[in-house]
Structures are given as structure tokens and as C-alpha cells.
Amino acid sequence: MSEVASNGNDPSVVRAHAAALRSIAREVVETAEPQEPSSARAGLLGMLQGGAVLALTGAGVSTASGIPDYRGPQGSWRKHRPMTYQEFRHDPEARHRYWARSFVGWRHIDRARPNAAHRILAQLEARGVVLGVVTQNVDGLHAAAGSRNVVALHGDLDKVVCLNCGNVEGRANLDERLAQANPGYAEAVRLDPRTVNPDGDVELPQVWVDRFRMVGCLVCASIELKPDVVYFGESVPIERKERATAMLTEARSLLVLGSSLAVMSGFRFVLDAVRDGKPVGIVNAGPTRGDSRAHWRWRSDVGEALEDLAAAL
């Protein structure tokens, strides 16, 4: 059992960890009758024709780039539990295990390139159809595809922050330092790409975790380094939340793409759009937490649906 889960000395940490575990375990089930695909497509097309659409994207947008999703039909949630912020912050062994596994798995994420869905959203933004993108993904692929008005709600794996002094370092630079401290390590580990999780984490035998050497912060030498992403049990930074909320205020409608909306940080946008009387459309391969509140629900592959809709505009 995690040191966090078993340590009763700080009740607030234990409560936050327990809440994060409940969020991780949330299973999204059907909450609305399936919608006729042709009707959903027509409704979504009308939304796009009205312009100023805010796109809210999730892992289903990046699966075609080789990055697995979490809660989809083939998602990793049934076999892999992400680490909570409380574990990462308060359990040194858990943090060391993460970095050993991420040092190997991050290479797969770093090689990912934008797919058709990312490129189409960038093109629709350039045409004024899409106002911008709020993404729950941490892979940086929207920006790489050319989207300019992007809020990465949960951060970006490309950066690393020191929990001790706040210094921010590029992940590529940290990777070079880790490679110097662990010569031949990543090459020696036999990795099946299918085992890489959405956060770049990958399962490793304990013997490899024990052999891994962590490096310290460039400023204060602390080894309490963390990917600059929002973990389960951690809050979205207020300035990021405010910018995304301002984008929704400016938008005419909300289009959810490739997200189950299981996490409140994403689901909140649906609730706020409905409150403000703005149409909500969803394209996802499986059920979402927002289905009962959406005007249009197209159960489809995101890339295929976007290609079809963009061609019809």
C-alpha cells in the first residue's frame, strides 16, 4: 500500500488521495439514448457553420498518433492506475519509480506526431470556424499541428518543475541528463509500445527501478522534480482555468472531441455551456459523462468524423 494511503499523520493528504482514487476509478456508463448518426452529424455541422466553436479535446484525439487513451474501449485504466499527486509529492519511492518508468516510456510519447484530427482543428481555427482548443491532453500535439489558441488544461509533458524551488526545465534537457546518469539504460529495457500509458509511464520490473539513478534540479539540486502536468488529486492552475473559461464565454458553442468527460475539470465546461444556453456537441467512440446534457452526440472515431465535417463545410 502506498505510504500516502497508509499514513494517517496528515488527514488532509489522505483525504485528497482517497478522492483522487475515486476519480481515477470512475467508470463512465450510458446516460442517454443513442442518437441517429445522420442526425448528430447534421447538428454538429450546423454548429460548425455558426463559427466561434470552442473545441474541448481528450485522449481520443491522440490515439491515432499512437498515444493510448485512458477510459476508451481499449483504454489503460483497467490495467494501470495513474499515480496521484499525493503519492508523487509525499512518497519518495513512488516518485523514483515514476521517473524510472517515465525515462523509458517518454521516448514513445516524444516520437508522436499530430494526426488528421489535430491538423483539421488547426485548419478550422485558421478559417475562423473554431475559436480555439482547450485540451485535457499533455502531449503538445495541438500546438505542433499549428493550433494557435490552445489551453493545455492539464499541462505539458515537455516541461518539468522542481517542487522545491519552482525552477522549470525542458523535458528534453532533463532526458539528456538522465541518459548521462544512466548510460545504456533505456536501450537495455525491452519495451512493448502497447504497454506505454497516456502519461508516458510504463511498467518496469523492480530490478530496473532499483538500478535507475535520478538527477537533481539545475538550480537547487533537489530530486523532487515533477512533470509540469496536473495529476489526479491536483488542481488546475487558476490562471489556466480562467483563460479556458474566458474562451468558453467568447464561444458560441462547445464541441467535445475524444473525451469521456469523467474528470470534473473537463465536464465543468459542459455544465457551464449548458448553463449559459450554448449548444454542446460530442464526438466520442464511447459514452461520456456529458451525453445527457449534449444537443448532439455522434458515436464515431474522432478523426473520421472531423474529416467528414470539414469536407462538408
- Set 17, 118, 142, 154: catalytic member: 154
The amino acid present at 263, given as its one-letter code, is V
Look at residue 224 and give its three-state secondary structure.
Answer: coil
Cβ atoms 110, 96 nearer than 8 A: no
Q: What is the dihedral of CA 280, 283, 286, 290, to 10 degrees?
A: -10
Q: Name beta bridge partners: 249.
A: none
Name the grid cell of 49.
457553420
Strands 150-152 and 130-135: parallel
String of DSSP letters for 35-53: PPHHHHHHHHHHHHHH--E
Mark whether 154 is an active-site residue: yes
Q: What's the rounded Cα separation, in Å, for the pair 14 and 65? A: 36
Name the helix (H) or strand (E) containing 170: strand 168-170
Instruction: Name the residues annotated as catalytic.
Output: 154
